[in-house]
Chains A and B, each alone.
Chain A
Amino acid sequence: MIGRLVFLGAEIKRELIMQRRYLLNTIMFVLINYILFMGIYLGIKSFGRGPDLGSGPAELMLGYLLWMYAAGGLNSMGDQLAGMATRGCLEQVYLAPVSPLYILACKSAADVISGSLQVIPIMLAVILTTGIKVSIPILPSLLIWGLTIIGLYGFGYILAGIVLVHKRAGQARELLQWFFFFFCGVIVPLEKLPPWLQPVSRILPLTQGLDMIRALIIRGEALSQMGDKLFLLFLNSMLYLLIGMAVFLWSNRIVQQRGTLSIY
């Protein structure tokens, strides 16, 4: 158990060292995202329309923030895997006494944590410079979001599996990314989708979570009223996660058979 925490710690430390070592890169990231968020904020203020996450700019920005994390959940595993392969340390990392599932989980957790260390100051800066009033129930939102993103990690594993076997996953990733963006109610409300797509949309990983966060923020519903929904969300996400893990393990089996783990 301690060993596994040490493993996770190593990945976080590695990310932080990288952040420090490529400081210019880190600063650029912060700047770009600050500009992005300010731009979104100002844009929304003048046009009054954006992703349908709520009415005020704060909620809309929350929507984008969530989307960023969602995209991260989707891409981080495949990216980390491809990164290790190109840097040439993938096999040595695979020789650690843990499952490849755990390696990727730690890698992307480290990714999310180090990313958040950059995003949180950006958000604070945005809040301070715009004077946005935040009235978002943080903890319940985080809980719902956490459950939602588990499902996305399921797809993250699937993409990582594709990276492992086919060595490229750019198109598959774009496909998923935009599919989720348009058909999970991020910017297009569910009711506006063609009728045949609605049931599909309902079981996609993002849809339920977004719906619940909206209910929480816009309609002011309490988390305690959402017990059933929360449980369904959990089931839905777990299902995707399990499928993703199975696909990834299966992909590992394929590259072990082909002997192509290190080839990139």
Chain B
Amino acid sequence: MEPLVSIQKVSKIFKTRANKEIIAVNKVSFQIKKGEIFGLLGPNGAGKTTIVKMICGLIRPSGGKIFVNGHDSLQTKRVHKQIGVVLEGNRNLEWRLSARENLAYFGNLHFLYGKGLKKRIDDLLEFLDLKQQQHNLVGTLSRGMQQKVAIGVAMLADPPVLLLDEPILGLDVESFRLIKNRIKELSHKFGKSVLLTTHQMNVAQELCDRIAIIKEGKTVVEDRVAGLIDRFSTPHYKVCLDNQGMNPNDREKLMRLPKTRFVEQDGGSTTIIVEDEEALWTVLKLLATTRASNILFVRKDNPSLENIFLKIIRED
């Protein structure tokens, strides 16, 4: 199937005032299929927002090509009909209009009107659990509420592609769960292609079908989340010890073992994180011979995207 969003060797070089060049995005390529949630991850300044803005035509690429549902991103009018966008920060709404007025206003700007628009707004207010606040001025809403209205604005015209730059920033637990489920629903049930950026790895792990990790403008990895975990996770064990009766000498010895890391716990226990099976044996043997301490438990840990992310970002 044709991908809905296709990024082909896209680069962006910004010139600073001092005429220095910043390579914000460096030959990045990826594609997003219909009904897929694609996560764009990376540390601050990696180039995520720049990529999002290049897709919507707010920033012009220095090189490469972007197609949205077959339209070149330079044909902004056509591309804008294909996308709904939540931009980073709170730059998405008219602050002096109410939530409902915002939806109506931006609906009109996307050529929606009359009964159809009214129905759409009612549905969206319901969908995002915003009925209560619909008549409040957006400027007076909390950050999370504003974010929900912004998501509503992005969804107004029912576009096939949604670009969400840190959409869950500032949401409380309940709104977060709601939005998360909504995003899932939108893609898996209604076939939308979603590009989302986030710094919350658990969210990416839960929500995304595929992710790309970028660093300093370059793609470091791109894979299905499950594939990534398979590929990058080394088996990894936790040994939890009772602090009572552990003498400092034995402790020293343990700490000097290879491939182990100490994590102090406050409740009278210590956790040792061990990187592979061989190291685990060394640790256990030492503990057995010294009888240094009671072992509370030994557990194989599920690797998280967060660990993989940190590993990938740190090594170079």
Which residues of A come within 8 Å of B, CB atoms? Answer: 2-4, 6-7, 9-10, 13-14, 17-18, 21, 87-99, 253, 256-259, 261-262
Contact = CB atoms under 8 A, between A and B. Distances in A.
Nearest to B12: A259
A96 B53 CA distance: 14
Interface in B88-119: 89-97, 101, 104-106, 108-113
Given A10-B109, A93-B109, A18 B59 contact: no
| Top-9 shortest CB links A-B | A3-B111, A10-B108, A96-B109, A256-B60, A97-B80, A88-B91, A259-B59, A6-B113, A97-B81
A80 to B, nearest CB: 12
Nearest to B53: A259
Contact of B94 (A14, A253, A261): A14
Nearest to A100: B76
A99 B97 CA distance: 23
Contacts of B12: 259
A15 B153 CA distance: 20
Given A3-B111, A6-B113, A13-B105, A92 B58 contact: no
* Most chain B beta carbons < 10 A, residue from A18, A88, A99, A253: A88
16 contacts: A2-B113, A3-B111, A6-B108, A7-B111, A14-B105, A17-B97, A21-B96, A87-B95, A88-B89, A88-B91, A89-B92, A89-B94, A91-B91, A95-B83, A97-B110, A261-B59
Contacts of A96: 80, 106, 109-110
A92 B14 contact: no
Contact of A2 (B81, B92, B111): B111
Contacts of B111: 2-4, 6-7, 97
Nearest to B86: A92
B87 interface: yes
A213 B85 CA distance: 49
Contacts of A91: 58, 87, 91-92
Contact of A256 (B58, B80, B83, B110): B58
A256 B60 CA distance: 5
Interface in B9-53: 12, 14-15, 50, 53
Given A6-B108, A10-B108, A14-B105, A92 B85 contact: yes
A90 B77 CA distance: 16
B57 interface: yes
A89 B93 contact: yes
B204 interface: no
Contacts of B53: 259
Contacts of B14: 258-259
B106 A92 contact: yes
Given A88-B91, A89-B93, A262-B91, A253 B105 contact: no
Contacts of A90: 91
B108 to A, nearest CB: 3
Given A9-B108, A257-B60, A262-B87, 12 more contacts: A6-B112, A6-B113, A7-B111, A10-B104, A17-B97, A91-B87, A92-B93, A96-B80, A97-B81, A253-B60, A256-B59, A259-B12
Contacts of B56: 95
A186 B94 CA distance: 38
B108 A256 contact: no
A84 to B, nearest CB: 8
A99 B58 CA distance: 12
